[in-house]
Amino acid sequence: MPVQSQVDAVLAQVDAGLEQSLERLYELLRIKSISTDPAYAAECQRAADWLVSELAELGFDAAARPTPGHPVVVGHGTDQAGPHVLFYAHYDVQPVDPVELWHSDPFEPQLKEGADGRKIIVARGASDDKGQMMTFIEACRAWKTATGTLPVKVSLMLEGEEESGGKNLPPFMEAHRDELAAADIALVCDTDMWDRQTPSITTMLRGLVADEIEITCANKDLHSGMFGNAARNPNQVLAEIIASLRAPDGSVALLGFYDDVAEISPELKAQWASLGFDEAKFLGEVGLSVPAGEQNRSVLEILWARPTCEINGMIGGYTGDGFKTVIPSKASAKISFRLVSGMDPAKIRAAFRQHVEERLPADCSVKFTPHGGSPAITVPNDGTHLRQALAGLSSEWNKDAVITGSGGSIPVAGDFKKILGLDTLLIGFAHVDDQIHSPNEKYDLESYHRGIRSWVRVLAALAG
């Protein structure tokens, strides 16, 4: 473990070198690595090559590895000390349109004063994810410059297709499993802080299972004057089935749905309660006031730690202009479940299908089309790496770092677990108002500076 005086020297290096560090970030931001548009393929390659030369300069054995799409940059540090971390970020960016809404060239980074007086870096990718990625690389640079070495063994895997589906990354990880799985823990820098003063590590990501169902009654559409009352209406059947999916208390009514759902620990519950999350504001911003879902649980808990059932779409009968008194032959719906740790997607899909089939009246049939099917990801809250990383973050921000969940999913974290057997710590320094994917994307200069400092301390803490 590095001694405090070493850490202090590295932090001083970060502060003294901030200006040059920004110049390097700007160089990367000037590269138009829009992954989804084939016109920018050469720019994606250029970004990958730029990263390879940065990493090589820091002593990494690095290369831009080809895939059927844009390259994956992989680098391995030659320092052997301590645990082995595998860092992930992505170098590709979203398209910039509508470009007329940008106040400056999206690929000519500007240091501006934000509305609230904070200094902000404005450019496509400033936050998502080049700025975030560079916080880690620059922390490595500061370690190397100040001490000649890294406190832990570091490998990096930098993706070029995160914003365009990322379909080539899982096969790449499969093909290089032995090489990549040699790490002890994965670090991902593509998430937000809890707020501008409070660093966080996201350890819970929900999984997803979805089914499209199509219910057929009569073998053709019918006239309600001729067949009304005599013919079964699939819209009615579908509506009754959908209504039966939730109990009046807001819980999901599938048999065994909650069997494998664990309650969160009282400590985590208390920590989330202390975050001061404003439920009224959260709902108010989308024009709502009363939380749906399970009663007697906080909104954060039902977002992060409880499974859902949502009806994403319903199609049936005549929906065009005017009116048509039809009894349709078919009705369909798209229904999805967000899953939490412990739930088996296959078991939930089977329970759902059984629930539907048991409620089908005579003369009706159902066809299921599966979508999704990924389990939730949870990093054990008592893990050593998590504890160390929390301590590293807390020491930089002079405030306890918090453990958060995410209602959505970050596929790469699932792949780290499934393909490489690695737990992932999601540590990021972005903010919800960074306007990622939108015009005038920005990153706080402080996020960049203190993000680098945070990684310096996290790497020291992970050294044990």
- Which of 438, 362, 409, 456 has its CA nearest to residue 146? 456
Nearer to Zn ion by C-beta: 127 or 332? 127
At closest approach, how far in Å is the CB of 385 from Zn ion?
22
At closest approach, how far in Å is the CB of 129 from Zn ion?
4
Residue 190 interacting with Zn ion (CB under 5 A): yes
Residue in 43, 92, 128, 159 binding Zn ion, rule: CB under 5 A: 128
Nearer to Zn ion by C-beta: 43 or 128? 128
> Do the beta carbons of residue 254 and residue 351 sit within 8 Å?
yes
Q: What angle do CA 372, 311, 263 make, to 5 degrees?
A: 70
Residue 396 interacting with Zn ion (CB under 5 A): no
At closest approach, how far in Å is the CB of 190 from Zn ion?
4
Nearer to Zn ion by C-beta: 252 or 377? 377
At closest approach, how far in Å is the CB of 97 from Zn ion?
18
At closest approach, how far in Å is the CB of 165 from Zn ion?
13
Selected range binding Zn ion among 16-24, 182-190, 234-242, 323-331, rule: CB under 5 A:
182-190
Which amino acid type is present at position 450? R
At closest approach, how far in Å is the CB of 457 from Zn ion?
23
Nearer to Zn ion by C-beta: 129 or 138? 129
At closest approach, how far in Å is the CB of 159 from Zn ion?
9
At closest approach, how far in Å is the CB of 128 from Zn ion?
4
Selected range binding Zn ion among 148-156, 184-192, 206-214, 445-453, rule: CB under 5 A:
184-192
Quick note: the x/- pattern for Zn ion over 87-126, rule CB under 5 A, is ----------------------------------------
For 6-57, the DSSP string reads: HHHHHHHHHHHTHHHHHHHHHHHHTS--BTT-GGGHHHHHHHHHHHHHHHHH
Nearer to Zn ion by C-beta: 317 or 407? 407
At closest approach, how far in Å is the CB of 191 from Zn ion?
9
Nearer to Zn ion by C-beta: 130 or 453? 130
Nearer to Zn ion by C-beta: 14 or 189? 189
For 444-457, the DSSP string reads: EHHHHHHHHHHHHH
Which amino acid type is present at position 188? V
Nearer to Zn ion by C-beta: 272 or 416? 416
Size of the site for Zn ion (CB under 5 A): 3
- Give the DSSP H or E segment for 212: strand 207-216
Nearer to Zn ion by C-beta: 161 or 190? 190
Rounded Cα distance between 137 and 131, Å, is 10
Residue in 54, 79, 129, 423 binding Zn ion, rule: CB under 5 A: 129
Q: Where are the alpha helices (DSSP H) in 292-344?
A: 299-304
Residue 159 interacting with Zn ion (CB under 5 A): no
> Do the beta carbons of residue 366 and residue 215 sit within 8 Å?
yes
Task: Give the contacts of 335 (CB within 8 A, at least 6 positions apart).
Answer: 210, 211, 212, 213, 242, 245, 309, 310, 311, 312, 352
> Do the beta carbons of residue 342 and residue 261 sit within 8 Å?
yes
- Give the DSSP H or E segment for 404: strand 402-406
Q: Report the first-to-last Cα separation within the chain, whole angstroms.
A: 6
Q: Per residue, what are the HEC states of 218-251?
A: CCCCEEHHHHCCCCCCHHHHHHHHHHCCECCCCC
Q: Name the residues that contact Zn ion, by CB under 5 A.
A: 128-129, 190
